[in-house]
Amino acid sequence: MRSILIFLVGINTALAVVPVTHVPNDGEPVEVKSWLVTGPSPSPVLQKKDQKDARRAAYYTGKGIDIGYPRTVQRPDGTLVTVFDFNNHVGKIDGMARVPLNGQDLREVWSTPWKVDITHTVCPTENHLNIDVAHLWPNRLSGDQSSGDGPNIAWTTWNPCKADSPLLESGLRGPVQFVSQESFPMVDYHVHLKGGLSLEEAKTWALAHGLRYGIAQNCGVNFPVTDDTGLREYVEIMRGQGVYVGMQAEGREWVELFSTEAMAQFDYIFTDAMTWRNNEGKRMRLWVKEETVIGEPETFIDMLVDRIVWILDNEPIDIYANPTFLPAELAGRYDELWTTERVDRVISAAVRNGVAIEINAGLKLPKPAFIKRAKKAGATFSFGTNNGGKQDLGNLEYCRQMIDECGLAPADMFVPKPDGQKAIQRKSLPKRKF
């Protein structure tokens, strides 16, 4: 089942009418290049109609005349959940938009996330789609101060705008893209800006593949962020970027490094059980062979399960990441070592603590049998990649496979909690044990 996203970049303009000619089925964006605009717009990417001159167009404020531009939509099989998203690659937006479809005025949008659901309005054949955009009036006020432009049009008790005031950018600057997307909420909560990957590159990849991202920072001993100042700086940078803001809590020391107040600024917190101290007090990172002491495998796996259960019971996390990971020396014995009893201990701890279990696309963990058993027990799940850079972002292929194989539904998926209900606000920070 697929949805269609419409992405518009920049919305300070008069009416722009989008001719919908094709809805892609393969997840690749299709840019809309044919436009019909009514009302002056100085945007160079739009065809101008009935404009006296560029000068008056630059000072234009308001919206255009409502006209239609019908086109046939190639509708994919299944129920459409079509969303208009005006917030892709946009910093500041000055204005508001109205989206009439097939003669029905859906609603006005004036703030992020600039989305309108048209599920119950879109037709399987011809659709009449308009986008009315009205912007603020500083340009008009500046125009009124210019000589030779006729009588003043706008009036205000105090006008800070002068004839030489810089004009605000105006116009539907594009590109406008239609992107097919699964109706299932494909959110990757485990993406890192590392290995040369920039935020803009990550957002572009997500757009092209019908995904939404949670961008997480590694926080803990020997990681980029080790105190509250670092947490707040990261959140400040990421807010308003159109992504979820995640904290990956590293090691077991994180509960002693950061305050509840600072961590509560994140949309969610996740951790794994890949760093802990064994019964002899040796700190081990299980993905580093030189640091990991296995000993007798059955004893080791029991110790690992004990650590996982303690983490789920005590650490205030929203997601258990990289689940059921085993060191390379034991990975080949996964099915043997992850017995039903051990699996059930982990699942029970996750369910009773309301912690979502990550389905990791990079590691392809946990295995289907674990996921099916967890679903039956009432667990919730999240998707994650845990990328090392821009080359391994992927398209959540393993997660998509698990949706079908394990019968997952949108109701089974994790959704970040509102302020006041996050795990960090519901559960006290424990004293570190391992």
Task: Quickly tell me which residue has 């008069």 as its tokens.
Answer: 14
**Would you say 245 and 211 are in contact if contact means Cβ atoms under 8 Å apart?**
no
- 60-113 pLDDT, tens digit each: 666 643 333 333 333 333 333 333 333 332 223 345 667 677 777 766 666 655
Phi, psi torsion values for 254, nearest 5 degrees = -60, -30
- Does residue 432 fall inside a structural domain? no
Q: So what's the pLDDT on residue 184?
A: 81
**Which of these three, 183, 213, 242, is where a domain ends?**
183
**Which of these three, 125, 159, 183, is where a domain ends?**
183
Are residues 124 and 165 located together in one domain of the fold?
yes
Task: Quickly tell me which residue has 């004036």 as its tokens.
Answer: 110
- Does residue 431 fall inside a structural domain? no
Instruction: Name the band, by pLDDT with cuts 50, 70 and 90, for residue 114.
Output: low
First to last CA, the chain: 45
Task: Quickly tell me which residue has 């809309």 as its tokens.
Answer: 32
Q: What is the mean pLDDT of the chain?
A: 78
How many domains is the chain built from?
A: 2
Helix (H, G, I), strand (E, B) or coil at 205: helix
- The fraction of the chain above a pLDDT of 70, given in percent, is 65
Instruction: Name the band, by pLDDT with cuts 50, 70 and 90, for residue 8.
Output: very low
DSSP string for 306-374: HHHHHHHHHS--SEE-STT---HHHHTTHHHHS-HHHHHHHHHHHHHTTPEEEEETTTTBS-HHHHHHH
Are residues 96 and 208 located together in one domain of the fold?
no
- 177-198 pLDDT, tens digit each: 444 445 688 999 999 999 999 9
- Does residue 371 fall inside a structural domain? yes
- Does residue 433 fall inside a structural domain? no
Q: So what's the pLDDT on residue 35?
A: 37
Are residues 92 and 54 located together in one domain of the fold?
yes
**Which of these three, 139, 161, 183, is where a domain ends?**
183
- 269-298 pLDDT, tens digit each: 999 999 999 999 999 999 999 999 999 999
Are residues 112 and 248 located together in one domain of the fold?
no
- Does residue 214 fall inside a structural domain? yes
Choice between 204 and 18, residue whose per-residue pLDDT is larger: 204
- Does residue 418 fall inside a structural domain? yes
Q: So what's the pLDDT on residue 369?
A: 97
Q: For residues 360 and 363, what is the distance between their CA atoms, to the nearest angstrom?
A: 6
- 347-375 pLDDT, tens digit each: 999 999 999 999 999 999 999 999 999 99
Are residues 64 and 12 located together in one domain of the fold?
yes
CATH of the domain at 368: 3.20.20.140
- 15-58 pLDDT, tens digit each: 333 333 333 344 444 444 433 333 333 333 333 333 444 555 66
Instruction: Name the band, by pLDDT with cuts 50, 70 and 90, for residue 10.
Output: very low
Instruction: Kindly tell me if the per-residue pLDDT of 171 is higher than 80.
Output: no
> Against a cut of 0.85, is the pTM above it?
no
The arithmetic mean of pLDDT across residues 198-221, rounded, is: 92
Q: So what's the pLDDT on residue 135?
A: 62
Total residues belonging to the chain: 434
Buried b (16+ CB within 10 A) or exposed e, 126-142: ebbbbbbbbbebbbbbb
Are residues 273 and 323 located together in one domain of the fold?
yes
Instruction: Name the band, by pLDDT with cuts 50, 70 and 90, for residue 14.
Output: very low
Instruction: Name the band, by pLDDT with cuts 50, 70 and 90, for residue 128.
Output: low
DSSP state for residue 213 in the 8-state scheme: E
Instruction: Kindly tell me if the per-residue pLDDT of 150 is higher than 60.
Output: yes
Are residues 255 and 373 located together in one domain of the fold?
yes
Q: Which amino acid is at 18?
A: V
Are residues 197 and 157 located together in one domain of the fold?
no
- Does residue 378 fall inside a structural domain? yes
Are residues 256 and 160 located together in one domain of the fold?
no
Choice between 33 and 200, residue whose per-residue pLDDT is larger: 200
The arithmetic mean of pLDDT across residues 147-168, rounded, is: 76
Report cis status (omega within 30 of 0) of the bond before 166.
Answer: no
* Apex 27 CA angle, 320 and 174, nearest 5: 110
Report in angstroms the alpha-carbon separations of 57 from 121, 189, 248.
34, 44, 49
Are residues 258 and 131 located together in one domain of the fold?
no
Beta strands in 91-157 (DSSP E): 96-101, 104-109, 115-117, 126-127, 132-134
Are residues 232 and 272 located together in one domain of the fold?
yes
Q: For residues 105 and 53, what is the distance between their CA atoms, to the nearest angstrom?
A: 32
Report cis status (omega within 30 of 0) of the bond before 76.
Answer: no
Phi, psi torsion values for 261, nearest 5 degrees = -60, -45
- Count Cα atoms within 13 angstroms, Cβ side, for 421: 6
Lowest average pLDDT, out of 4-8, 342-346, 405-409, goes to 4-8
For residue 130, the enclosing domain spans: 1-183
- Does residue 389 fall inside a structural domain? yes
Are residues 267 and 304 located together in one domain of the fold?
yes
Q: For residues 124 and 397, what is the distance between their CA atoms, to the nearest angstrom?
A: 29
